[in-house]
Amino acid sequence: PAQNKHDIAAIAKLFDMRADFVHAHPYGSGHINDTYCAYYDQAGQRIRYIHQRLSTEAFKKPIELMENVQRVTEHALNELLKSGDKEARRRTLTCIPSVEGTPHAIDADGNCWRTYPFIERARTYDTIESEAQAMEAARAFGEFQKLTATLPGKPLHETIPGFHNTKQRFQHLEDAIAADTHGRAAEVQKEIEWFMARKDEASIVVDLLESGELPLRVTHNDTKLNNVMLDDVTGEGVCVIDLDTTMPGSAIYDFGDMVRTATSPVAEDEEDTSKITMRMFMFEALVKGYLSSAKEFLTDKEVSLLAFSGKLLTMECGSRFLTDYLKGDVYFKVHKDRHNLIRTRSQMALAESIEAQMSEMEALVAKYR
């Protein structure tokens, strides 16, 4: 087993655990935070908790971030308890407070930590194995949006400013083309033209949010399958996790990113673009699952953009890969020559596959609304 990089017994003392620390080990396959599973003894029972060190590289304001997580999870728990859910504490993350009563604790080295009860009898999957999983994940993300739709008080902190501002993302691409700091623009003229031809479409959702025609909601912003715990026995999507990017946004972004990450049969950096396709049966599973929990609160305008959302988020992601390629690979980690260009082309192929199937996708949305 992997070694602990941190002294978890010391971390345990920072939180109001009301149980005795036994041991801990690194856990999960997350790429952002350092996650530990810790065993405690509570009146003779062995129980598990998750301790996580927040990545301060990814998140510049961890305390604001934890204020968001605390507000969202507390509200979700209250709503679930109100509805009489017998498994309320399995259906949302809950923050164990620090000994000072805050949702985070700072260790001797200045690291920011949080603690959650371990969601038992459920697990996450790194790759989608079936339509049923896609449907359950989409349903769970819709449930999460429904629970957070009634969050009272001031808006959440925008933990990553402009995260899905596609208009701004395209502007960054144009800036990178103009600067051409690594002399790569000439070689990617075709790709540049592809994105520029779709510039108007990229600003549709941003403009509708600005004009108020689309509502600003609480959104998750990292709607991958490995951020939903599926029940070990029933396969049900029990709990949405990884709330680091939860902030104000459009429902369109959450659904679109599910389409981008769940409908293609191959990895995000597949070189053989002939293998990249938007699989309609997976899209149908996502629509069915998502609308089963979200249709009661979504506006007509939002529903009308669900098919398009997949294309939008795929274009957005592709534009970020191309921008990073032009800037000399400064943001996304690269593991081979032209890795960001390969990723760009794979997103373009997926967006083209969505474009080609748009009317059929729209018909499916109409069927389940």
Question: Contact positions toward Mg ion, by CB under 5 A?
Answer: 30, 32, 227, 242, 244
Helix ranges (DSSP H) in 212-329: 251-262, 280-294, 300-304, 306-326
Contact status: 111 vs ligand ADP (CB under 6 A):
no
Q: Which two tokens stand for residue 341?
A: 């260009």
In whole angstroms, give the CA distance from residue 254 to residue 243: 13
Q: Toward ligand ADP, which CB reaches closer, 177 or 240?
A: 240
* 30-49 positions binding ligand ADP, by CB under 6 A: 30-33, 35
At position 192, the amino acid (one-letter code) is I
# of chain residues touching ligand ADP (CB under 6 A)? 18
- Min separation Cβ 313 and ligand ADP, Å: 18
Helix ranges (DSSP H) in the chain: 8-12, 62-82, 131-148, 166-179, 189-196, 199-202, 204-211, 251-262, 280-294, 300-304, 306-326, 339-356, 358-368
H or E segment at 231? strand 228-231
- Min separation Cβ 65 and Mg ion, Å: 11
Q: Toward ligand ADP, which CB reaches closer, 116 or 194?
A: 116
Cβ atoms of 354 and 361 closer than 8 Å: yes
In whole angstroms, give the CA distance from residue 258 to residue 86: 29
- Min separation Cβ 241 and Mg ion, Å: 7
18 binds, among Mg ion, ligand ADP, none (CB under 5 to 8 A by kind): none
Among 242, 257, 284, 324, binds ligand ADP (CB under 6 A): 242
Interior CA angle at 51 toward 46 and 52, to 5°?
Answer: 160
Position with the least CB separation from ligand ADP: 30
Q: Toward ligand ADP, which CB reaches closer, 120 or 360?
A: 120
- Min separation Cβ 140 and ligand ADP, Å: 14
- Min separation Cβ 340 and ligand ADP, Å: 21
In whole angstroms, give the CA distance from residue 69 to residue 151: 12
119 binds, among Mg ion, ligand ADP, none (CB under 5 to 8 A by kind): ligand ADP
Query: For the chain, how far is it from start to end, CA to CA, in angstroms?
Result: 48
Contact status: 241 vs ligand ADP (CB under 6 A):
yes
- Min separation Cβ 199 and ligand ADP, Å: 31
Cβ neighbours for 244, distance < 8 A, ≥ 6 positions apart: 32, 33, 54, 58, 59, 65, 69, 159, 222
DSSP label at residue 150: T
298: left (phi over 0), alpha (psi -120 to 50) or beta: beta
Q: Toward Mg ion, which CB reaches closer, 16 or 126?
A: 126
Q: Toward ligand ADP, which CB reaches closer, 191 or 222?
A: 222
Q: Toward Mg ion, which CB reaches closer, 225 or 305?
A: 225
* 112-171 positions binding ligand ADP, by CB under 6 A: 116, 118-119, 124
- Min separation Cβ 27 and Mg ion, Å: 12
In whole angstroms, give the CA distance from residue 197 to residue 78: 47
93 binds, among Mg ion, ligand ADP, none (CB under 5 to 8 A by kind): ligand ADP
Cβ atoms of 56 and 145 closer than 8 Å: no
- Min separation Cβ 57 and ligand ADP, Å: 12
* 266-285 positions binding ligand ADP, by CB under 6 A: none
Among 93, 225, 238, 285, binds ligand ADP (CB under 6 A): 93
- Min separation Cβ 56 and ligand ADP, Å: 13
In whole angstroms, give the CA distance from residue 358 to residue 362: 6
Q: Toward ligand ADP, which CB reaches closer, 33 or 246?
A: 33
Cα dihedral 23, 25, 28, 31 sign: positive
Q: Of 141-149, 151-159, 207-215, 239-247, which part binds ligand ADP (CB under 6 A)?
A: 239-247
The site for ligand ADP (CB under 6 A) is made up of 27-28, 30-33, 35, 50, 93, 116, 118-119, 124, 226-227, 241-242, 244
